[in-house]
Amino acid sequence: MSDFEITKKQEFDASILTLRSDGILNIHMKANKILKQSDGEDIVKGLAEMGNGKKFLLLFTAGEDTSVSTEARYYASTPEANKFTIASAFVVKSIAQKLLGNAYVTFNKPITPTRIFTDESDAVRWLNTFR
């Protein structure tokens, strides 16, 4: 049982965005997908619509065998992609996803605080430090 309700939801080809009643926006990356830049652009468009220009704490959750293309990682680190972001926590399921996430943080250097987690409750605790 979770401590929050879903207040808004939007679905795209590669992701599902849900706004939680605790104010955290969960971006679930669907299983068996390689996210492209256009998928990242869909997410930004969804954030704009769901928050009317407001910034969010973002909780990214990875599906099984989900990956992200080089172009999408580059886009995700840009000011354009982060205009609705306070901080981003990525919850990964595999060693490959963790390595990809750590490479993103190290080499793409996102402009907002970003960390990789294997436990969702740890990720939410970290996000809450930005309130």
pLDDT tens per residue, the chain (131 residues)? 468 899 999 999 999 999 999 999 999 999 999 999 999 999 999 999 999 999 999 999 999 999 999 999 999 999 999 999 999 999 999 999 999 999 999 999 999 999 999 999 999 999 999 99
Query: Is 30:63 a contact under the CB 8 Å cutoff?
Result: yes
Residue 74 inside a domain? The answer is: yes
What is the model's pTM? Answer: 0.95
Residue 109 inside a domain? The answer is: yes
Q: What pLDDT score does 1 carry?
A: 44
Q: Is 113 exposed, middle or buried (0-12, 13-18, 19+ CB in 10 A)?
A: middle
Q: What pLDDT score does 2 carry?
A: 66
Domain that holds residue 49: 6-128
Residue 1 inside a domain? The answer is: no
Residue 99 inside a domain? The answer is: yes
β-bridge pairing 56-62 and 34-35: unpaired
- Number of domains forming the structure of the chain: 1
Q: Is 91 helix (H, G, I), strand (E, B) or coil?
A: strand
Contacts of 5 (CB under 8 A, 6+ apart): 20, 21
CATH assignment at residue 70? 3.30.750
39's enclosing H/E stretch is: helix 37-51
